[in-house]
Amino acid sequence: KLPTMKMLLSLIALLSAALLADAAPPTCYSRVLSLSKEITESFKELQTSKAVDSCVEALPRLYLDIHNYCVLAKLRDFVAYPRCERVLEVSELKEKARSLYTIMISYCRRDLVFLTDDCSALENPILPPIEPS
């Protein structure tokens, strides 16, 4: 009975170690990438929600490309936009944008590489075509 218990504990320890090996800590780049995607998706959902307030329709467009240097100005403009304080979803989105900006300019400043500074690409993004299903 004791050897079986020892073997079971060894198996559990081995599986735990395998799981921990796959769970690498997020890098600055991966955190910035995931947060920018989360913000972009939240913005899209806000724009298409049933309870769209008139101020939401007037919000600056929020397409984020963390490889474009202009994204920093885009985030600053969005956070500083003076309207929509009373819309909870907009306040939450502004807080996420503020966090992304802070992460990019302080914590990840040396880890990020900007491939372009094309500000118009953030205003009129060329999105990949949707493949037919």
The H-or-E segment that residue 79 falls in is helix 71-80
Spatial contact of 39 and 97, defined as CB atoms under 8 Å apart: yes
pLDDT higher than threshold 80 for residue 67: yes
Closest CA to 112 of 34, 50, 33, 8: 33
Positive or negative CA dihedral for 99, 100, 104, 108?
A: positive
Placement of tokens 């921990």 in the chain: 20
- Residue 41's identity, in one-letter code, is E
User: How many angstroms separate the most distant Cα atoms in the chain?
Assistant: 70
CA dist., res. 61 & res. 44, Å (int): 10
pLDDT higher than threshold 60 for residue 132: no
Token readout for 54 is: 């008139």
pLDDT higher than threshold 90 for residue 37: yes
Token readout for 13 is: 């320890």
* Domain ranges for the chain: 25-114
116 strand-pairing partners: 68
Q: What is the pLDDT of residues 118-130, one digit of tens each?
A: 888 887 766 554 5
Q: What is the pLDDT of residues 2-15, one digit of tens each?
A: 566 666 667 677 66
CA dist., res. 60 & res. 97, Å (int): 13
68 strand-pairing partners: 116
Placement of tokens 């920093």 in the chain: 72
